[in-house]
Structure 1
Amino acid sequence: MEEEDQVRVSQANNSSTCSSPSQQNTTSDVHGNRDNFEDYDASQCDGLFCPICMHAWTADGDHYLCSLPCGHLYGMSCVKRWLELCGKNFGKCPQCNIKYKMKEIRKIYASRVVVADEDFNKKLQVAETKCTLLVEKEADWHRKEEEWHKRENALCLELHQLKERTKEMEQLLQNRRSVVEGYMVPPSFPVGGSSHHFLLQKELQLEGARLFDIDASGQTLIIARRLSGLGGEHFLSKISLIPPYESQNIFLPPNTKACRDLRVAPSFARLALLATLGKKMSILSLESNNVVLAYDLPAAAWSCSWDLNNPHNVYAGLQNGMLFLFDMRQTGRPVESMTGLACNPVHNIHSVIRNPSSPGGVNTLLSASAIGLCQWNFGAVEERQSQVPETENHGVCISSAYSPSNDDIVASFRPKVEMLNEMAFSQPNLTPIPTGLGQGVQGSHVHLKRVGNKYYQWGFSQANVNHIRLPKSLIIERKNERPLFASGDEFTGELVLQDLPSLAVVQRLQPSPFSPISPVLDVKHTNAWSPSFLCCLREDKLQLFSAKPLP
C-alpha cells in the first residue's frame, strides 16, 4: 500500500510538473498558436481534431494520426512535442496518464475518424430543419414581392389607360372627317378601345436581328440575323417560345446574302420562304433546317409571299419592280412574271383571298413600292396591274399591312423629297434629319377597305416614321373585336397600337427602360395560343407581349 501511495504521489507531481495539453491550450497550444477554445465544445469535435492542439490531423506530413498504447489518438508532432516537454525517456498520455515510449506509438492509416454522437446528429437535424424553414420564408417573401409588383403594374396600367382614353378622344375629334366625294363613308363604329391590353412577358437579347416570323405549329420564332463585324455571315435562328427559350442557328448557303423578307407558310407545312439580296428566293424546311428549293432571280429579291388560294404557289418581289410567280412543283423556271409600273423595289407583297365572283384562275396580289399600292392580277387577260388611286398623293410609301379576313389595308407614307428642279424624287435623303428622339419625319397612315376590286379610304392619321429605313407594320386580327394596326413611332421608340378604322391610339408599348431608344424593326402577332402573342423586334432585342383582359 505504501508503494502504491508513493506511485500516486509521483504521478501527481509529474502531472503538476507537466500539465495536460488540454488544459494549456486555452491560452497557447504546443505549436505556439494563441487561440481561445473556451467556447469550443470538444464533445462535438471528438474524432475530428487532435486533443492536444485542437487542430485537424493530416493524412501526411508531421501531424499524421497516431495511437498511444492506451488507445488514445493524437497528432504525431504533438505527441513528440509532449514527450520532449516531459523531459524523460517515456511520457504519459495527456488523458489517462498511462506511460508510453516513442517506439510504442503506432501510426493510424486513416484520413478521418469520427465518433458517432446521437445528440450532435439531432442538433444537426434541427439546424437543417431551421434552414429549410428560412428558405421557405424567403421564397414566401419573394412571392409577396411579386404580388406587390403586379399590383403596382396594374395601377400603372390603369393610369396609362386613362391617359390613352383622353388622347383617343382628342384624336377622334381631330381625325373625324366629313364625307369626301369619291370616298366610301364607313358606317358608324362605337367609340372605345380594346377589351384587351398587351403586357410585356419576356425580353430576349438577339445580336444582329433584322426581321422574323412566327412558326405557330412549331411554337418557334424564325429570325434573320447577321454576325457583327465587317463581312459578317447571314444566318437564321430558331428560338422556342416555350421557356427556357432554346435557340438553334441555321446557316444559309454561300452567296445568299442579306434576307429582305421572311414568311412562314400559313398552313402546317412547316416551311419558310426567304427573299434575299443574293438574287435568290429559297424555301426552307423548318423540320430538317435545310433549304429544299431555291429559285434564281434576275435581280435581288426584296419581298415574298405565299399564295392564300393555292398552297403550291409562291411570289417574289424584286428590286427592279418586277413580280414573279413560281409553282413549287415546277422547279425550273417561274410560271409567270410581270413588269412593274415603276422601277422602284417591291418591298411588300400580300396575297388576296379570291372573291367567289372573280374569274376562275386569277390570283390577285397587293404590292407596295415607293409610288404606292398596286394590284396585280396573275392569270388575267386584261387589267393585269393597276395602281390603287387612293395611295397616289400621300408621299413615298414605305410600308403596308393587310388583313386577309376582312380586306383591311393600312399603307404608311413619308413625305417626298423635292429636288432643285422641282421634280419629286422618291428616294430618301441620305443626310439624317435630327427631329425628335429618333431619325424620323412626320408622315401618315392611310386605312383602306377593299370591296371587290375597288378601294375606299376609311381613315387617316399622322405618324412619326423613319426617313430612310423601310419599317414593318401589322394588322392584328382579333376574334369578335375590331382589328388593331401596329407600327413603330420613330420619335419615341414605342410600338403604337391603333384601332381600325378610326386609327385612334389604343396602347403604346414602351421600349425597355434600361436601354437606349431603338426603332421597331419588325412586328408579328399570332392567335394560335391563348392568350395571343405579340412579338416586337428592336435592335438586338426581341420583346414578347401577351394579351390580357382588362379588369
Structure 2
Amino acid sequence: MADPDYLAYLSFLTERRISPSGLSEYLHAEDGDDEMDIDFIGMPPSDGPNSASVARSSQESVDIDDSAVESDNVVVVEDEDEDGSNERRNYNNSEGGEMSSSKDNKDEEEKVDAEEELNRDEIDGLICPICFEAWSSGGDHRVCCLPCGHIYGLACIKKWLQGRGSGKCPQCKKKCSMKSIRVLYASRIVALDVKLQKKVRSLEAKCSSFKEKSDDLSAKRVEWRKKEADLCMEVHYLKERTRHLEGLLESAQSRPLGSSMARWGCRGEAGLGDDVEQEFHQQGSSISFMLQKDIQVDGARIFDVDTSSQILIIARRLSGMGTMNVLTKMSLIPSHEKEDIHLPVGFKAVKDLRVSPHARIVLLASLGKKLSVVSTQSNNTVLTYDLQAAAWSCSWDLSNSHYIYAGLQNGMVVQFDMRQTMRPVESITGLTDSPIHTVHSLSADSTVSCGVKGVLTASSVGLCHWDFGRSGGRPYLIPESENQGVCISLAYGPSRDDIVASFRPKIEFSGDLTISQPTLSASTSISGEGVRGSHVLYKRVGGRYEKLGATCANVSGIRLPKSAIVDGVSQNPLFASADEVTSELDYLAAWPRIHCNYSQLNSSEVQVGI
C-alpha cells in the first residue's frame, strides 16, 4: 500500500493540475544543519483558488521562515529519515494555519474517489520524480541519471542543480554536479517487482493445474457418457429379453402337456440309405431360441466364433476396383464394434476359417494355394505356408497347439508344425482327387498308439479317417457314408465324439448322357435350390464309427453349407444347420432323438444371431 502522505501529495497536484507548463521556479532555503530544506515544485495557476501571492524568477533562491510555511499551501521534500528513504509529505494548512495530522491525512485519503487515486507502485519508473511527467528517449526531457543511480528527466535535473548552490540529488541528497549527469539510452525504464513476478508465476502454475484438472474431468465425462450409453443399450436389451421370456413362459404354460413333442422321420426315401426309416422324436420340454439382432455384413463369406474374446471373425470379399479380401472382427457385446484386418495384396478368396482354441490367432485356407496364420490381437499375418494346390479347408489340432491341417483341392491332406516353417510335417494322398471341403482334428483316443493323430475329413465321396504319425497309414472311408449320397457338410462335437454328416442325392447319368434323377422331381424346393437330403448321425467309439440314425432335411443342391454341433446349451449337444427351402435355421437336439426349432433367416442377407 502506498504511503498515505504521498498519496495526499499526489492528490494535491492533481487537483491543481500542476505540470511542467505550470512550473515557475525552484526555491531552496538552507538555514544550517538543524533546519529543513524546502523545495517549491510548481506554482498553481494564477486563476486558481489558492494562487501564490508572490512570484519569483527561476534562478532565484531565498530563505523561507516558519510564517511563510504557515501562510500558503506548499509541497515539502524532507531529508532522509532513519531508514535512509526520502518521504514526500503533504502538509495542508487550512484558514486557521493549523497543520493536519497523519490521522487526518488517512481520513482524507479514504474520501478520495477510487478513480482518481494514483498508485505509487504503478508510476515509479515511468515518470520523472521532479515534474511527474513521463520522460522521453530524446529531447530536453530525455532520461538520465546521477552517480547515485536515481533517474530524472534531463531538463528537470539541470534546473534542480542550477537552482541549488550545494548540488545534491533530490532523493538521496548526495552531492553531484552538472558534469556527473549521465544520459541513459533506453526506450523505457521500469522497475521490476520481484514479489509481483513470483505471484504471477504462482498464479500461472495454479492456472495450469486447473486446466489439467479440467481436461481430465472432460475426458472422464466423455468416458462416463459412453459407459452410460452402453449401459442404457444393455438395459434395453435385457428388458426386451425379459419380455420375450415372459411371453414364452405364458405360451408354455397355456399349452397342454405333450403338445411340444415333435416327430421327425422319412421312410423309404430313395438315395438316403437303408437305415433312414428309423424314427426320431423329442421327449420332454423343447428348447427354443430367439433371434435377438440382425447385423448385415457386406461381402461376408464365412465366419467363426472366438468365445474367449467374445468376437466374430468374418472373412469378407469387398467388390469394386481391385477386389480385396479382409477379416472383420465384430464384438458380440452391444454396441457390436467392428474392426477390419487387411490381408496382403493378391490374397485370394478365403475358403475356410478356424479360430484357434489355444490362442488369439486364426487359421485361413485360401484358393491362392496359401495356408496363413493371422493374429487377431496385433492384426498381422504371423505365418504363411505355400501349398501344392488350392486349400479348401483347415483345422487346428485339438491336443497340440503347434499342429495345423489343410485339406487341398486335389484330395490331399497336409500337416504342418508352426515351429517348422519350411515344409509340411506330413502329406497324405487321398483315395480320390475330390476336394476336401471339411477337416476336423479328432480328440485323443486311448486305443490309438502314442504320437498318432486322427483326422476326419469330408469330400463328395463321403467321410474319411486319416492317421498322421503312423508309417504307411492310408485313409479309409467311414462305413455306410459312401452310399448316402453326396456329402456336402460335416459337423463334429469333440466333447462326446458326435458326428453329423449332411448329404444330398447323387445325380446319375444314363447311357445316352441324359440326366436322370427321379428322386429330385418330387422333393425339389419351390426356389429350385433346395433338395430333399438327410442328416446322418455317427458316433466314434474307440477306433470304430457307428451309425446311429438319420433324419430328412432340405439341403442345398448347389452350395457346400456349414453346420455345427454346439455343446453347453442344454443337457445334450445341439446340431445347427440351414433349411434351404424355408430359409430357416434348424436346431436338432437329444441324441439320438432329434427335435427342430426354427428361427427365420433371410437368405438374401448375411445375418448373425447374437
TM-score, structure 2 normalization: 0.55
2:475 matches 1:359: no
Paired residues of 1:313 and 1:327 also in contact (CA < 8 A): yes
Which residue of the partner structure matches residue 543 of structure 1?
609
Residues 381 and 144 of structure 1, relative CA distance in 2, 3 Å threshold? closer
- 1:157 is displaced (CA, Å) by 7.6
Query: 1:171 is matched with which residue?
Result: 264
Aligned with residue 498 of structure 1, among 580, 584, 588: 588
Task: Evaluate the alpha carbon distance shift between residue 149 and residue 397 of structure 1 in structure 2; reply closer, same or farther with a 3 A threshold.
Answer: closer
Q: Which has the larger radius of gyration?
A: 2
1:458-537 → structure 2 map (5 Å cutoff): 458-478=548-568, 481-502=571-592, 504-511=594-601, 517-518=602-603
Does 2:480 correspond to 1:390? Answer: yes
What pairs with 1:8-407 in structure 2 (closer than 5 Å)? 151=243, 154-155=246-247, 166=259, 168-171=261-264, 191-194=283-286, 196-229=287-320, 232-267=323-358, 269-407=359-497
Unpaired runs of at least 5, structure 1: 1-142, 426-432, 512-516, 520-538, 545-551
Structure 2 match to 1:126 = none
> Does 1:435 find its partner at 2:525?
yes
Cα distance in structure 2, aligned partners of 1:399 and 1:340: 18
- The residue identity in structure 2 corresponding to 1:387 is L
Letter aligned with residue 494 of structure 1: E
Per the alignment, residue 44 of structure 1 pairs with none
Deviation at 1:163, TM superposition (A): 11
Shift of residue 421, structure 1, vs aligned partner: 3.0
Q: Say if 1:262 and 1:275, in contact at 8 Å, map to a contact too.
A: yes
CA distance in 2, matches of 1:394, 1:480: 29
C-alpha distance after superposition, 1:93-138 (max 9, x if no partner): xxxxxxxxxxxxxxxxxxxxxxxxxxxxxxxxxxxxxxxxxxxxxx
User: Counterpart in 2 of 1:445?
Assistant: 535
- Residues 469, 168 of structure 1: CA spacing in aligned structure 2 closer, same or farther, 3 A cutoff? farther
Alpha-carbon offset, residue 231 of structure 1: 5.0
Gap change, CA 1:197 and 1:157, over 3 Å in 2: same
Q: Distance in 2 between matches of 1:384 and 1:158?
A: 57
Distance 1:393 1:364 in 2: 23
Render the CA deviation track for 1:144-182: whole Å, top value 9, x for unaligned.
99979964774468659969975844326x679xxxx99
* Residues 210 and 224, structure 1, Cα contact 8 Å, conserved in 2: yes
CA distance in 2, matches of 1:489, 1:373: 22
Structure 2 residue runs of 5 or longer lacking an equivalent are: 1-234, 516-522
* 1:234 Cα deviation after fit: 1.1
Identity across the alignment (%): 48
The farther-off stretch of 148-157 and 319-328 is 148-157
Contact 2:261/2:282 (8 A) holds in 1: no
Could you say if the C-alpha distance between residues 454 and 190 of structure 1 is closer, same or farther in structure 2, counting changes exceeding 3 Å?
same
Instruction: Tell me the distance in 1 between the aligned counterparts of 2:377 and 2:238.
Output: 38
- Deviations, residues 176-228 of structure 1 (Å, cap 9, x unaligned): 9xxxx999xx9x9982355x532222221211111111122222111000113
Deviation of 1:372 after TM superposition, in Å, equals: 0.6
Structure 2 distance, partners of 1:150, 1:305, is 38
Read off the aligned partner of 2:324 and give its amino acid letter. E
- Asked if structure 1 preserves the Cα contact closer than 8 Å seen for 2:436 and 2:459, the reply is yes
SS class of match (1:320): coil
- 2:480 is paired with a residue of what secondary structure? helix
Of 484-493 and 252-261, the range deviating more from structure 2 = 252-261
Call closer, same or farther: CA 1:166–1:421 in 2, change over 3 Å.
farther
- Maintained 8 Å contact 2:485/2:506: yes
When residues 439 and 362 of structure 1 are mapped into structure 2, their CA distance, relative to the original with a 3 A threshold, is same
TM-score by length of 1: 0.60
State the alpha-carbon separation in 1 of the partners of residues 249 and 409 from structure 2. 44
Instruction: Supply the AA of the counterpart residue of 2:381.
Output: V
3-state SS of 1:199 partner? coil
Query: How far apart, in 2, do the equivalents of 1:317 and 1:394 lie?
Result: 22
Give the Å deviation of 1:461: 0.4
What secondary structure sits across from 2:384 in the alignment? strand
Q: How far off is 1:356 after superposition?
A: 1.8
Distance in 2 (CA, whole Å) between partners of 1:310 and 1:146 is: 40
Listed one character per residue, the Cα deviations across residues 349-387 of structure 1 (whole Å, up to 9, x for unaligned) are 110111122101100000000001000001113543100
Deviation of 1:436 (Å): 2.6
Question: Which amino acid in 1 is paired with 2:554?
Answer: N
- 1:281/1:452 Cα in 2 relative to 1: closer, same or farther (>3 Å)? same
SS at match of 2:263: helix
The 1-side partners of 2:394 and 2:508 are apart by: 31
CA distance in 2, matches of 1:218, 1:147: 25
Measure how far apart 1:503 and its partner are: 5.0
Count matched residues. 366
Select the structure with the greater relative contact order (CA < 8 A; seq sep ≥ 6): 1
Query: Separation in 2 of the partners of 1:441 and 1:182?
Result: 19
The one-letter code of the counterpart of 1:540 is V
Q: CA deviation at 1:510?
A: 1.5
TM-superposed deviation, 1:496: 0.5
1:305-348 Cα deviation digits (max 9, x unpaired): 00011111000000111100000000000010011111111011
Q: CA deviation at 1:275?
A: 0.3
Higher strand proportion: 1
Distance 1:434 1:288, change over 3 A: same
Amino acid at match of 2:462: G
Which whole-Å CA distance do the structure 1 matches of 2:372 and 2:257 have between them? 43
Determine the C-alpha separation between the residues in 2 that align with 1:419 and 1:259. 33
Q: Which moved more, 1:146-155 or 1:335-344?
A: 146-155
- Show CA shifts across 1:256-307 (max 9, x none): 211011111111x211100011100000011110001000001110000000
Q: CA RMSD in A?
A: 3.7
